[in-house]
Amino acid sequence: MADIFSNATDFGLMEPSSEPDTVLPLYVVTTKSWQAWYQAAADHHQRWIDGQGFTPKPGRVITLPGQDGTLAGAVAIISDQPIWDAATIANALPVQTWQIDHHALGTSFDDSFLLGWALAHYRYTTYRDKPAPARASIMVPAESDSTRIMGLASGTYLGRDMINMPPNKMNPAGLEDTARALAKTHKAKITVIAGAKLASDFPAIDCVGRAAECPPRLIDMRWGKSGPKITLIGKGITFDSGGLDLKPSKAMEMMKKDMGGSAIALGLANALMHANVPIKLRVLVPTAENAVSERSMRPLDIIDTRAKLKVEIGNTDAEGRLVLADAITYALEDEPDLMIDFATLTGAARVALGTELPALFANDDNVARAIIDASNKAHDPLWQLPLFDDYDRHLDAGYAAMSSTGASGYGGAITAALFLRRFAGTDSNWAHIDVMAWNLSARPGRPKGGEVMSLRALFDYIDGLAHS
């Protein structure tokens, strides 16, 4: 799977052991410490800065000349949240190797600067004739936690690559290949359930994917021997046509991203394993393509689930919750300490919160608050929506069994989460994240295309659990 991991080898970060021919100083300064740095700067640097009309705002950078007029360094301005400032700075600097000089900060160096720098270097070029142009590199300070930074960067690159892959390549078989390559890299155990066993033991997953040319399957990966039992579940619908309730062409245009939940789960797993976080990790990915053929499920079909709950299909385009239902049931049989599912589940969540703010649901409000705190610290936003019990009645409005969608056209993100709760139960430590997994436009460090929203937040939360 060289295509999948091709972008995950160069983050623009150079380890201290590297010895480049030329290294230039990059003075990293906050807006508060700018004046002190400026007053201490050489006279010719002060004159140069004044002559350029430079304004010290976060994310801005100015190169500095030597006495002979050659490039001698640069000064960059950051805020209290340097991750995206760093991404802007990395894009603006000339292609050189830079050495951070952060003494003017007056505080310890924030590793999120290096992560922002690494994320700014991401480009998806697998199917382009020319590689991405060279970009500036930076030396990693010895005091930085390079293992954590590299883990988060590689997990993000992997997840973005997976979502950006064309759906004829990232089909259920391609997703399985990716998971197997990841398992091999980290010496994790992996099993894949497909065919007759999937149909008998995971009937909802089979029902969703049986119409497609590439058959459905359930990927089960395990890693780690000590620490809390953490299970990640990722929705792996590699393309969603809507089934017989066919999507209009515009709505179908980006449906290769409907496996974004699986990309987040596997990207997060990659980060956790790379950083050697002490947990017992399990990743479940129910993967299928929601296609149209003579084997497609129909509206008002009644299907079986692993939990023995009968489900009446309200809309064939609401297939993600069906594959998650079987995976959640399977996960609970192992009694995890924490179970989190990631899914591009509803347009309703996007209507409620927009495309850049994933919705978080959780059985335990204390857990939800802790995850939100982690998201704020990681600058990886999440917003809690309620598991509003009164809406649970809508799921019982099916003609002959529990409805997969409910009768109401309102509160769709909540209704979908409540459907999943029917399988997760109310006593499990379960969280559900309804995510866009796509940047509609480009910003520094966040290019247009696939995005692993919530990965950094959940890494920090799980890392905290493992070390508590």
In the chain the first and final C-alpha atoms are separated, in Å, by: 36
pLDDT at 455 over 70: yes
* Spatial CB neighbours of 245, under 8 Å, sequence gap ≥ 6: 299, 315, 316, 317
- Least confident window among 16-20, 115-119, 198-202, 396-400: 16-20
* Annotated active-site residue in 60, 123, 247, 377: 247
Q: What is the CATH number of domain 148-466?
A: 3.40.630.10
Q: Which amino acid is present at 401?
A: A
- Establish whether 280 is a catalytic residue: no
Give CATH superfamily name and number for 2-144.
Leucine Aminopeptidase, subunit E, domain 1 (3.40.220.10)
pLDDT at 10 over 90: no
| Residue 356 burial (C-beta neighbours within 10 Å; 0-12, 13-18, 19+) | middle
- In this prediction, residues 324-353 reach a mean pLDDT of 98
Distances (CA, A) of 123 to 109, 133, 452: 27, 10, 14
Distances (CA, A) of 246 to 252, 290, 403, 436: 9, 10, 19, 20
pLDDT digits (tens, 9 = 90+) for 120-146: 999 999 898 888 888 899 999 888 899
**Spatial separation of the C-alpha atoms in residues 466 and 463, rounded to whole Å:** 5
Query: Which of 412, 261, 431 has the alpha carbon at shortest distance from 361?
Result: 431
| Domain edges within the chain | 2-144, 148-466
Query: Which of 277, 233, 83, 269 has the alpha carbon at shortest distance from 159?
Result: 269
**What is the pLDDT at residue 8?**
43
Phi-psi region for residue 449, left (φ > 0), alpha (ψ -120 to 50) or beta?
left
- Establish whether 282 is a catalytic residue: no
pLDDT digits (tens, 9 = 90+) for 204-214: 999 999 999 99
Residue % of the chain over a pLDDT of 70: 97
DSSP-based three-state secondary structure for 282: strand
pLDDT digits (tens, 9 = 90+) for 246-297: 999 999 999 999 999 999 999 999 999 999 999 999 999 999 999 999 999 9
Cβ atoms of residues 452 and 380 within 8 Å: no
Cβ atoms of residues 79 and 58 within 8 Å: yes
**Spatial separation of the C-alpha atoms in residues 444 and 282, rounded to whole Å:** 33
* Annotated active-site residue in 257, 321, 350, 446: 321
pTM to 2 decimals? Answer: 0.96
pLDDT at 418 over 60: yes
pLDDT band at 106 (very low <50, low <70, confident <90, very high): low
More confident residue, 14 or 220: 220
pLDDT digits (tens, 9 = 90+) for 180-190: 999 999 999 99
Average pLDDT of the chain, as a whole number: 94
pLDDT digits (tens, 9 = 90+) for 289-318: 999 999 999 999 999 999 999 999 999 999
**What is the pLDDT at residue 285?**
99
pLDDT band at 7 (very low <50, low <70, confident <90, very high): very low
Write out the H or E segment, with its range, that includes residue 116: helix 112-120
pLDDT at 2 over 80: no
**What is the pLDDT at residue 1?**
37
DSSP-based three-state secondary structure for 388: coil
